[in-house]
Amino acid sequence: MRVAVGMSGGVDSSVTALLLKEQGHEVIGVTLRFHTVEACEVNGTHNVCCSPKDVQDAARVAKRLGIPHLTFSWEKIFKSRVIDYFVKEYLRGRTPNPCAVCNREVKTGFFARYLKQVAEIDKLATGHYAKIEKEGEHYVIKRPKDRKRDQTYFLSLVRKEDLPLLTFPLGDLTKEEVREIARKHGLEVANKRDSQEVCFLMGKSPGEYLEEIVGKREGLIKHVSGKVLGKHEGVYRFTIGQRRGLGVSYGKPVYVVELDPKTNTVIVGEEEYLYNDKLLVRDINFHVPMEEWKEVSAQIRYRHKPVPVERIEKKDEGYIVKFREEVRGITPGQVVAFYEGDKLLGGAIIEDAVK
């Protein structure tokens, strides 16, 4: 089988390539370059991915493994499909998930389709901690052995038609097992730190990054009662559920409960205002047809515990997801991933909480 491996220069993708070569596949290392700057060294530590140094690390590993290595300069594609989307969403008062969108539009789903067309690959392998299996007529993604590294949430927007082109060889391994394999084979990246930031932010917070692009956009911070509590320098500096850094005093803890970009207002309130049992999505990216969904749970943020879903109703405006209990901090722009046990059923982008 001809397998392209998306090599980021880290230990996970490096071991992915090693394992596939050991299995006897024709392996080609491929790296996407999104940045040509050297600004990825943050506070003296290398903790963001896709930098020029990462490209060099990927090439070194490929050479050591004896496989060809190709680099694709996709700065313009990445900017138009991920960075521009990120900026527009924040300016709409939403909190986007650029990694999930990137997996769909650039480095995973789309890249697999592209390589199928131009290089006739059978599969694109990545270092995601996830499993992919065929069940009946469907390819489905499942949670991995290493639950602490579970990346299925970020794959929930990948299109169903792209799933047959993907493989995740690390699904049955833990992170420490992966590092041990790398050390055993003398890979230089065996102890390389994981990427910890959104790559294009270069160590900045979203607010700092956006201020450099659009400047300060001052507005009011109001309590849900309508009382003005202070001013802010841009709604893009805030997200639903935020408590720290508000710069206002109310005599008791308050949290961001709504962002109104039309009036440039940040609305805060007590924690009780963060809870709701319904949300709206415009569309759902189905990995499994909805008529086959049974005991469904939904995860509204990466680190959130999945919550049982009572029902999903199709309406003119989209789908209303009703939970069996109230959840905290439903955030427009974030991803909601749907599961049945360990199986990923699909995902969607949250439009809003429903009162």
Name, in order, each residue with C-beta under 8 angstroms of 44's C-beta and a sequence gap of 6 or more. Answer: none
Q: Are residues 236 and 344 in the same domain?
A: no
Q: Is residue 210 part of a domain?
A: no
Residue span of the structural domain in which 243 resides: 216-269
Q: Are residues 239 and 290 in the same domain?
A: no
138 band by pLDDT with thresholds 50, 70 and 90: confident
Q: Is residue 108 part of a domain?
A: yes
Query: Which of these three, 248, 269, 290, is where a domain ends?
Result: 269
The whole model's pTM is what?
Answer: 0.93
Q: Report how far residue 347's alpha carbon sits from residue 312's, in angstroms, rounded to the nearest whole number.
A: 13
Q: Is residue 211 part of a domain?
A: no
Residue written as tokens 């833990």?
A: 174
46 band by pLDDT with thresholds 50, 70 and 90: very low
Predicted local confidence at residue 52, as pLDDT = 73
Q: Are residues 88 and 231 in the same domain?
A: no
- Asked whether 242 and 255 are in contact (CB, 8 A), the reply is yes
Predicted local confidence at residue 193, as pLDDT = 86
Q: Are residues 184 and 63 in the same domain?
A: yes
Q: Is residue 166 part of a domain?
A: yes
Q: Are residues 27 and 115 in the same domain?
A: yes
Reported as a single tens digit per residue, the pLDDT across 231-253 is: 999 999 999 999 999 999 998 99
Q: Are residues 37 and 70 in the same domain?
A: yes
Q: Are residues 118 and 58 in the same domain?
A: yes
Residue written as tokens 């991933």?
A: 337
Domains contained in the chain, number? 3
Q: Is residue 21 part of a domain?
A: yes
Identify which of 95, 105, 82 has the alpha carbon closest to the alpha carbon of residue 35.
82
**126: its two tokens:** 């990545």
Q: Are residues 197 and 222 in the same domain?
A: no
Reported as a single tens digit per residue, the pLDDT across 298-348 is: 999 998 999 999 999 999 999 999 999 999 999 999 999 999 999 999 999
Q: Are residues 238 and 332 in the same domain?
A: no
Active site residue 102: yes
Q: Report how far residue 224's alpha carbon sits from residue 243's, in angstroms, rounded to the nearest whole number.
A: 15
Predicted local confidence at residue 342, as pLDDT = 97
- Calculate mean pLDDT across residues 286-294: 96
Predicted local confidence at residue 183, as pLDDT = 97
Query: Which of these three, 269, 294, 312, is where a domain ends?
Result: 269
* CATH number of the domain residue 173 falls in: 3.40.50.620
Q: Are residues 47 and 166 in the same domain?
A: yes
Q: Are residues 288 and 247 in the same domain?
A: no
| 168 secondary structure, DSSP code | -
Query: Which of these three, 141, 173, 201, is where a domain ends?
Result: 201
Q: Is residue 206 part of a domain?
A: no
Phi/psi class of residue 251: alpha, beta or left (left: φ > 0; alpha: ψ in -120 to 50)?
left
Reported as a single tens digit per residue, the pLDDT across 165-198 is: 999 999 999 999 999 999 999 999 999 988 767 8
Active site residue 49: no
Identify which of 300, 243, 236 has the alpha carbon closest to the alpha carbon of residue 268.
243
**DSSP state letters, 38-103:** STTEETTEE-SSS-HHHHHHHHHHHHHHT--EEEEE-HHHHIIIIIHHHHHHHHTT----HHHHHH
4 has a pLDDT exceeding 70: yes
Q: Is residue 209 part of a domain?
A: no
Predicted local confidence at residue 353, as pLDDT = 96
* CATH number of the domain residue 338 falls in: 2.40.30.10
* CATH number of the domain residue 222 falls in: 2.30.30.280
Q: Is residue 182 part of a domain?
A: yes
How many residues does the structure list for the chain? Answer: 355
Q: Are residues 191 and 280 in the same domain?
A: no
